[in-house]
Chain A
């Protein structure tokens, strides 16, 4: 028989291992909760693909590159309605086809060399020539150097929005000598991305310390930064953290800023944490395909009208949580020409029933396709889609949900194959002309099976809006365009989800910007 001693030894051994592990685990855990004061930790759900500004076109990439680089023009704080000088001032010709860029004095890159016209020409030509994601921002634009301080941008067509495009962090000015030395070119052969993912080559307030696309980005201050306001925090850690964990982190003092809290999460925060809630510039909308080959039901105008009246917008807004707002039109509320609440579409149960009867709908299943893995400012598309399904069910419309990862679903959306689709539009630049794509024959119009010539009223309004004019004229043109779109278009603007930025009370300067979300360098402490 086995002796008692060996049995006991086994048991003690087992217990000792467990206890030892628990002790190491817990003691180590508690030792890690302190944070150095000069470091600021920002939590973010990453959609980061690269830190190379000329290639990136993702919100997280914009946050990073905004801190590492500077652009020719920029915006001040959250105001995106007018541009302010960045590295340069820009003067437009009367026909909005020629733009004279004059570099300011004293701007230097992180290696101490001055920012020159050659750097501007190289950087912008690199964006155009690499044909990366952001290159469409400068489509039709040619860049030529006039002298060491002056660069001329020439647009093939009238391009009044160009000054509003230039502040985009994708159009950052890079140190051309450094980038060229590391494989940079202004064509598709460029191989500087690997270098730019490990180092920065800009004139921004920070330099890149380390970058891991899936876990975290670390920035340290750029000692050569020439701007007036030196950043407060000497080290910035931007971490990839799920939104639920962001909430725990900020409550526990593990992070100082949380960028992706949902309305529900933001409203349940404890004291000592400030939340800045503003509607974001993203507009979530429903599209009904007008191509009868895709669906004979959704292409019926009475059915479209019935769906518009069957949606309980207030309910969706409350579901989207604190700070969210109904999208009155397709242009978000902070842009020129946005619709007022008087012109929004409203829930009308009896009107919906009448329209539905007129459409001849007999309870057929309509498929609602949506990207299941998108969560926009804390609003999960899967949750929203289920609520829409339920609302339409109450109105007598049977909806079948078809979730798919955005990677697979986007192709169907782009090709205009979805009967009902739930998507969003994030602005490329803060100017309403970006939203003319929703007109018949526009990029998004075609996705809804709405080719040129489908709706004369909307097309006429869009043409007028495209022509431009003074700010007041443009505002009127865009409201007319959106009213027409709301009346007969195949899109139903639903909500602008809130952008909730939670920050420790000690952090100042937290401001949402529609282009780069948050300017890290503007963060201060009190």
Chain B
């Protein structure tokens, strides 16, 4: 439905595109390193409720303490290891499911295509929040269950992209000649088509990591994701709602989300310039909250 492919305009790798990408990559990598090192560098146990409650930043705690007397800084850095890996998992799973179904739809066409595309329509027409609530209620609230809920609504954009690309390639000379030579359709799908669609998929996926982080932390903010006492950024922000006087409860986890998402978006944007300059990606009705 998103017929927004546009003929190649002249966008070159901007003089700033690459440096932005590098800045993004550095920040993203830094957060990933933090995620791994969190248990070592955290000054406190992120779950221990042994400090005075609602202490302002400064003194023995860098970023203050929360309403249960936990160290906000320690929770913040261990939060990196919670959301980022699951967001990556979500994107990887979406890409896998989406590209497989999209290639099948594009390659085989006819009723197969029609069926898969109608399913994507159905899924994308479905409200994410209700889906997440229902899944959280049925399987119990956990971040992994939130990933499943998000997965249901996030694979279709890859299916559509892949299908479009495969459709374009299917009639191309080398695929047609392969078919004439009697190669199996699977072989041609794998050998001839796959290498040609990786670029655009990679671009979409890299831009989607940020969206995935926003989605998962948003679900946690609503209480549909991370289960307490997990140090998850979105649920840390929601802790701040009842304690407006303690601004540090909400500000820092929000900044953490912002920096990570910006970093991945910088990388994705630079990748787009480099790999798939013709797209100005906007997927219709993707998983938004």
Contacts and interface: CB of A to CB of B under 8 A. Distances in A.
Given A373-B223, A389-B229, A401-B227, A244 B241 contact: yes
Contacts of A372: 141, 223
Nearest to A262: B242
A19 interface: no
Contact of A264 (B49, B227, B243): B243
A526 B272 CA distance: 68
B38 to A, nearest CB: 20
Contacts of A375: 242
A389 B228 CA distance: 10
A44 interface: no
A405 interface: yes
Contacts of A247: 244
B68 interface: yes
B interface bracket (residues with beta carbon within 8 Å of A): 20 to 34
Contacts of B140: 402, 404
A403 B220 CA distance: 12
Contacts, number: 60
Per DSSP, are chain A's interface residues mostly helix, strand or loop, or mixed? Answer: helix
Interface stretch (A379-387, A427-435, A446-454): A379-387
A413 to B, nearest CB: 14
Contacts of A385: 228
A188 interface: no
A266 to B, nearest CB: 12
B244 A244 contact: yes
Contacts of B2: none
**Closest 8 A/B residue pairs (Cβ):** A408-B137, A244-B244, A390-B49, A386-B229, A386-B228, A244-B242, A382-B228, A401-B228
22 contacts: A244-B244, A264-B243, A265-B242, A372-B223, A373-B223, A378-B242, A380-B242, A382-B223, A385-B228, A387-B68, A389-B229, A390-B48, A390-B68, A401-B227, A401-B229, A402-B227, A403-B141, A404-B137, A404-B140, A405-B133, A405-B137, A405-B223
Given A265-B243, A372-B141, A387-B49, 12 more contacts: A244-B242, A244-B243, A264-B54, A264-B67, A264-B243, A382-B223, A383-B67, A386-B228, A386-B229, A402-B227, A403-B141, A403-B227
Interface of B: 47-49, 53-54, 67-68, 133, 136-137, 140-141, 223, 227-229, 241-245
Interface of A: 242-244, 247-248, 262, 264-265, 268, 319, 372-373, 375, 378, 380, 382-383, 385-387, 389-390, 401-405, 407-408
